[in-house]
Structure 1
């Protein structure tokens, strides 16, 4: 397990998000990124979660829409990794995985693409 401070983890997540290709992050309107220690149910195997309605299942956002949410679970990501580089890789993979859900890509297709 690798452990870093909350501030360093937030910096790492921001850096990995900023490093993603433009074509991957374009269209991420009305979406927030959140860091929590653990999922509400306390599960230790969930690294991230997309909470929202995929773009393929909705029309345009309207005024006052609640933003979609991508949550990264710091404790689970740290517990899954042996060193800082591994943590960086898992954060990037988790971000891509959850962003893909926002765009309507399911787990089966993510497995085919090597992102799950």
Structure 2
């Protein structure tokens, strides 16, 4: 998918969102990055209807990211054959929130990616905020 031309410039495409997310992941402390090798990062336009229904969300713009998988602390050697852990970023909801003009796109994507990585590690919201603030 390519960026869409607008009168004020290009809207970031999925590749641009992924680049921002991967840069945010690269800035994480080594202790976290070491456990992200098997995690898949996917940038999609929106969450699909099944995901939205399962989460009880009516508005597809209300979900900007999602972690699917088992947190590291819950994994077991008996998990062989399971699907990989995935961090989903939803481009259109991210752009919609960014358009509100309160934060940069980089700050928004970083916030969402850290939150979803936090689910991978089983972190609390306070732990995620500390990680985002560089205090972890």
Q: If the TM-score is normalised by the length of the shorter chain, which range does it land in?
A: 0.7 to 0.9
Tell me the residue number matched to 2:25: 17
CA distance in structure 2 between the aligned counterparts of 1:101 and 1:63, rounded to whole angstroms: 20
Once the two structures are superposed, the pairs formed by residues 29-108 of structure 1 within 5 Å of their partners are 29-41=37-49, 43-60=60-77, 64-82=81-99, 86-105=104-123
List gaps (5 residues or longer) in structure 2.
1-9, 50-58
TM-score (norm 2): 0.67
* Greater relative CO (CA pairs within 8 A, separation 6+): 1
Q: CA deviation at 1:67?
A: 0.9
CA RMSD between the two structures: 2.5
List gaps (5 residues or longer) in structure 1.
none
The structure that has the greater radius of gyration is 2
Summarize deviations over 1:61-112 as a string: whole Å, max 9, x none: 76544211000011111110146x611001111111111101112xxx21x3
TM-score (norm 1): 0.77
